[in-house]
């Protein structure tokens, strides 16, 4: 303490408060590795020279007015501002270096939070060394566990696994190759079972993110109330019960890699807004936290509806659609790539028999012709199911047309001429089934796509005596 300061302390006790402030300020300024202050909007109002140097700034003045996260992405000063509570001891990661930090609020005479101070206690502080060493060990164990988990979240398929040489298939693969080279958001549009997830995996595996996780989530399969937590995660303490320790969401799990969002058209309006924000900011806010986490995730979204139609119908936000529709790949229906059928059958039969430990199977020309006459509303997944059932039901090495008699949803003999009324009824039945499958079991949507009312849809559905419990993708409908 300077002589001048000592004298002022002795002579003028009423100056005590301002002198103490000077002392503390001096301490912050010179003694601490780093000290930074923000106002109530979390914008920097002061920082000492050392912190400025650490942040790579020529002068502390360069930081003034900047939102704290633009300088220190993992800062929790905003949390201190929001809660008014200090965070007395914490470990902060800054550019892969660990710092022990302490943060506390600054309050006015009315006990209102008017700012917050963050202090950096660098690791050269001897007493903190054991704590830091322990933290580093835990952190490296956690990183190791994450890497292991990442390996389990690998995409298994590549572009070579996409079978087919038809022009439609080649065009699809060509676009997928381009999508893999760019890091842009991709939108996959195709009926159920056309191979959207397979293509998403192949794009990921061909991209520069191939060594990072591939995480898939079917948006339509999770109730709205749970979906937000599933996507963005839950912060520790946000809930009681199972989630009280906090949980990473799919975005965090996919960090550095690819997140495949299937049936994106079914996303609720509220979550559409949140997803749009994530795409714009590349930041997520876990539930129950007011902290934004930076993430680096490539989104591949998929839909079995035409997403543009949903925008027109007011069901999907146009701004989100444009964000997703950067690179659109439309997957052809199986019936639009008939020439791929033999190669696809051979590939799928090999896959089926390998997995089930069965002897190799092939198809006779008659069987192939019979399969080629089908409309395949469930596309390749339906074809795979039919082939699998045929393998299980028959011992023949070369499966013949008769092996599929009982399995095909609607065996159409090309040479059978039926009364017109019956043919029309059959066509109507198939149209209802195909629409329902294409709409993921949503009858209102199916009716809309067919251009009829929901009531008419029901009436026709019942008149044809179609099964109540029919599932999209199932091969056992009538
Ligand atoms: N071109 C292809 N070559 C080989 N197998 C394929 C091809 N396309 C799809 N498959 C197979 O068809 C099945 C369905 O594919 P996938 O799950 O990717 O379809 P999808 O379009 O995502 O379906 P849904 O919309 O119902 O989720 C999988 O078993 C997949 O391996």
pLDDT at 144 over 80: no
The question of ipTM being above 0.90 is answered as: yes
119 Cβ inside 6 Å of ligand 1: no
CATH 1.10.8.60 segments of the chain: 334-415
35 Cβ inside 6 Å of ligand 1: no
Q: Residues 413-437: what's their mean pLDDT?
A: 72
Q: List C-alpha distances in Å: 467 to 191, 391, 405, 463, 470.
A: 21, 26, 20, 11, 6
pLDDT at 467 over 60: no
Fold of 417-478: Arc Repressor Mutant, subunit A (1.10.10)
> Which CATH number is correct for 32-129, 3.40.1020.10, 3.50.50.60, 3.30.450.20, 1.10.3330.10?
3.30.450.20
Q: Residues 423-450: what's their mean pLDDT?
A: 81
Fold of 334-415: Helicase, Ruva Protein; domain 3 (1.10.8)
Substitution site in 165, 198, 472 for ligand 1 pocket (most atoms within 8 Å of beta carbon):
198
CATH 3.30.450.20 segments of the chain: 32-129
The residue that leads in pLDDT, 158 or 461, is: 158
User: Which residue, 384, 329, 380, is CA-closest to 353?
Assistant: 384
- Closest atom of ligand 1 to 188 CA is 21
Q: Residues 35-41: what's their mean pLDDT?
A: 90
Exposure string over 209-232, b if 16+ CB within 10 A, otherwise e: bbebbbbbbebbeeeeeebbbbbb
Substitution site in 195, 203, 205, 378 for ligand 1 pocket (most atoms within 8 Å of beta carbon):
195
CATH class of 159-332: alpha beta
pLDDT at 413 over 70: no
Q: Ligand 1 mean position to 378 CA, how many Å?
A: 10
Question: What was the pLDDT predicted at 442?
Answer: 83
């Amino acid at each position: 303490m300077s002589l001048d300061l000592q004298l002022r302390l002795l002579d003028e006790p009423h100056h005590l408060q301002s002198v103490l402030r000077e002392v503390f300020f001096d301490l912050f300024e010179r003694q601490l590795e780093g000290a930074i202050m923000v106002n109530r909007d979390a914008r920097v109002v002061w920082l000492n020279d050392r912190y400025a140097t650490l942040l790579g700034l020529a002068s502390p003045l360069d930081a003034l007015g900047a939102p704290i996260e633009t300088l220190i992405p993992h800062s929790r000063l905003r949390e201190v501002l929001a809660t008014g509570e200090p965070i007395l001891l914490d470990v902060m990661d800054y550019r892969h270096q660990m710092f022990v930090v302490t943060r506390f609020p600054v309050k006015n005479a009315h006990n209102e939070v008017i700012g917050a101070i963050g202090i950096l206690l660098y690791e050269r502080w001897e007493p903190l060394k054991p704590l830091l060493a322990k933290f580093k060990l835990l952190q490296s164990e956690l990183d190791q566990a994450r890497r292991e988990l990442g390996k389990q979240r690998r995409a298994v398929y590549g572009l070579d696994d996409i079978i087919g040489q038809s022009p439609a298939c080649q065009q699809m693969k060509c676009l997928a190759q381009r999508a893999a080279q760019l890091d842009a958001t991709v939108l996959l549009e195709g009926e159920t079972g056309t191979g959207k997830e397979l293509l998403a995996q192949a794009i990921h595996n061909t991209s520069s993110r191939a060594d990072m996780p591939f995480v898939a989530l079917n948006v339509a399969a999770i109730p709205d109330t749970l979906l937000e937590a599933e996507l963005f995660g839950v912060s520790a303490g946000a809930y009681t019960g199972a989630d009280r320790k906090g949980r990473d969401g799919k975005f965090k799990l996919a960090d550095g890699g690819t997140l495949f969002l299937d049936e994106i058209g079914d996303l609720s309006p509220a979550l559409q807004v949140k997803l749009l924000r994530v795409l714009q900011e590349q930041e997520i806010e876990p539930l129950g936290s007011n902290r934004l986490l930076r993430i680096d995730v490539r989104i591949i979204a998929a839909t079995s509806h035409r997403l543009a139609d949903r925008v027109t119908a007011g069901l999907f936000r146009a701004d989100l659609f444009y964000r997703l529709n950067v690179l659109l790949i439309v997957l052809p229906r199986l019936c639009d790539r008939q020439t791929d059928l033999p190669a696809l059958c051979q590939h799928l039969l090999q896959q089926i028999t390998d997995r089930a430990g069965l002897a190799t199977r092939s198809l006779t020309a008659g069987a192939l012709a019979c399969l080629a006459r089908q409309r395949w509303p469930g596309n390749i997944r339906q074809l795979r199911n039919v082939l699998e059932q045929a393998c299980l039901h028959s011992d023949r090495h070369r499966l013949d047309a008769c092996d599929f008699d009982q399995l095909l949803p609607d065996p159409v003999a090309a040479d059978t001429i039926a009364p017109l009324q019956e043919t029309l009824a059959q066509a109507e039945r198939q149209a209802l089934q195909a629409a329902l499958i294409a709409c993921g079991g949503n009858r209102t949507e199916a009716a809309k796509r067919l251009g009829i009312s929901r009531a008419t849809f029901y009436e026709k559905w019942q008149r044809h005596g179609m099964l109540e419990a029919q599932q999209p993708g199932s091969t056992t409908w009538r």
